[in-house]
A and B are shown apart, each in its own frame.
Chain A
Amino acid sequence: MAKPQVIIRMGSHAEKEYLEKTIKFFDGLILGANLVEATPGATASLLIKFGGKRLGVPFYLDPMTYAYGMYVDPDRRLRSDLDWIKSEQKTKRGIRRLFKRSYRNLAESLGGIFEDALDRKAAITPSDFTNQAKAADFCESVVNYQVERLARVFQQDPEYKSFTAELPAPSAVFAPYFYIVPNDQEDWTRLNLRLARLTAELGSGLPVHAVVVADKEFLEDADIIDSLAEELPKTGVQGVWFWFSRFDEHRAVASSLIALRSLVEKISGAGLSVFSMHGGYFSLALSKFGLTGTSHGVGYGEQKDVMPVIGQSTPTVRYHLPEIHKRVGVAEVIRCFQPLGITTPQEFYDGVCNCTICKGVVNKDLDDFEAFGDMHYSTPKSKRLAQTPAAAKRCRFHFLLSRLRERDGVASATRDDIVKQLRAAKKKWGEFNWIEDSCGHLDEWESALA
């Protein structure tokens, strides 16, 4: 049985430590263009380390072209002002709201329509692509960016020029893509399909993948889904990545999950590789219906809104409870020990998790599990306790190891096995009042996979 791929998305260089220890066990690495532009030298070096001859980890560079398109803000207002890629910056004239350096650099690297959008401070729209030649140039610049941008970092430096040849080529290149605006789905879908076709026609020598990014409501529109399933294979791309904003596998109802399953079946049935851009265990289970793989971050990231919510406090990294495939508060897990009859480390390994991290943390005493939730005052002025960096690190490493097990478990299981495991997990964990809300997805997943 084919093993689903898990491709890790690196969000920042602070995650390097996790990747250094685990990336060789995963199936690929995906880098966002904003990270490349913010830290080109460090990112290029990292890529030689991970993607070079020794480890040979497949990599993808997400050009993040959607950042220059229209978006829906957290108040559900349609915006074309590109404000979300701006930040407050200190200038000689005081604090001003300007484009973030990484996105400004990215627009400069991509050129043409992207720079125009920044100059006029307004999003790219389908009307920018009326000229066919201009649209083809646009696609070419996005492909060239993915293939050449990191090599340019070394080429520009005489001392490191010789390293250029060591840089791996991406496993596939993404066609430019934009968020499919909810009230104008047809136009934006058509534009994305056209850009995918133009990119495939360039014949870059690398597989071309399309990205479909839309609101979760998109999944409920059977007509547009059918049309996408019919038209996408005709573009000539070899793969497609789906990203549904506000769609969370753990909160989605069975009808949405079934719609996603159906979409995966149709498109993979037409011979395309299908990936989930921000998915978790449910996406892995969809490999039984044709999904090739999923990507997510080091600290979970199994769901992502197109428009990030800014200004939130750092969330606590919770413990990934392997059997329910979901993160849960440390107190909630500890509260289960007594009713489950778990009193020793060995009983914990048998009943909860026996990954290397858990065996290291829960070593002599069951109380050691508390280390996953250690709290401290992060600054002398803090009024509220926050998770310690060491505790967050334990949770992240445990999550990464659990994800590898989940991937391998899905590969060796049948669809029926997965459904039975979900049912058993619901029976075991869902009976506890303090955790039952965290188990609702198990029923929905079971319905969608059965």
Chain B
Amino acid sequence: MTHPRWEYLLSRPVAAYFRRKGFCWQVPEMQFYEHRIDLYAFSRVYDLTLAVELKLHRWRYALKQALLYQLCSDLVYIALPAARVKSVHKAMLAEHGVGLVSVDANMRCHQVIPARASNAMRPRYRRKYIRLVKGAQ
């Protein structure tokens, strides 16, 4: 089993990356039913919500979770170490509108695939989670 510390290492650069992109209001480990969204964020500027699933490997598992997060977030990303990105079936992610961010050895993030606005999003969840994110600031 992967030690959670290593996945946690990705969280800081990824959070900083999306903060620079305008998603300044952030909550780590936001619970969504039985799942935990590694990073949930809201951009007041763009009026968009964002969910990120961090994984060191097992991108297929990350995709399953990302697809669920499309229920409560406008944009959903998977973030992986750069070395793992080449094994990802990028067309599959693009087909589902799930974005991909690669984290290199210097902890710099690069967008590999942009996320598309979710068409499965349920407004009730969106409202609820924006409220939670605002409340946490």
Q: Does chain A bind chain B?
A: yes
B86 at the interface (CB under 8 A from A): no
Q: Which residues of A contact B67 (CB under 8 A)?
A: 335, 433-434
Complex contact A330–B33 (CB within 8 A): yes
- Give per-residue flags for A345-367: 1 if the beta carbon is below 8 A from chain B beta carbons, else 0: 00000000000000000000001
What separation, in Å, do the CA atoms of A370 and B35 have in the docked complex? 15
What separation, in Å, do the CA atoms of A329 and B122 have in the docked complex? 17
- Give per-residue flags for B65-78: 1 if the beta carbon is below 8 A from chain A beta carbons, else 0: 10110110000000
Minimum CB–CB distance for A336 against chain B, Å = 9
Complex contact B64–A338 (CB within 8 A): no
Which residue of the partner chain, among B32, B63, B96, B119, contacts A331 with CB atoms under 8 Å? Answer: B32
Complex contact B124–A335 (CB within 8 A): no
Max count, chain A CB within 10 A of own CB: residue among B65, B67, B70: B67
Interface residues of B in 62-109 (CB under 8 A from A): 63-65, 67-68, 70-71, 96
Which residue of the partner chain, among B33, B119, B122, contacts A373 with CB atoms under 8 Å? Answer: B33
Would you call the interface of chain B mostly helix, strand, loop, or mixed?
mixed
Would you call the interface of chain A mostly helix, strand, loop, or mixed?
helix
Chain A residue, CB-CB nearest to B70: A335
Q: Which residues of B contact A373 (CB under 8 A)?
A: 33
Complex contact A331–B122 (CB within 8 A): no
What separation, in Å, do the CA atoms of A384 and B30 have in the docked complex? 10
Complex contact A331–B34 (CB within 8 A): yes
Max count, chain A CB within 10 A of own CB: residue among B34, B63, B64, B67: B34
Interface residues of A in 309-345 (CB under 8 A from B): 316, 329-332, 334-335, 338-339
A259 at the interface (CB under 8 A from B): no
Q: Which residues of A contact B (CB under 8 A)?
A: 316, 329-332, 334-335, 338-339, 367, 370, 373, 375, 384-385, 433-434, 437
Q: Which residues of B contact A (CB under 8 A)?
A: 31-35, 63-65, 67-68, 70-71, 96, 119-120, 122, 124
Known: A331-B34, A367-B124, A434-B67. 19 other contacts (CB 8 A): A316-B34, A329-B35, A331-B33, A331-B35, A331-B68, A331-B71, A332-B68, A334-B71, A334-B122, A335-B68, A335-B120, A338-B119, A339-B120, A367-B122, A370-B124, A375-B33, A433-B63, A433-B96, A437-B64
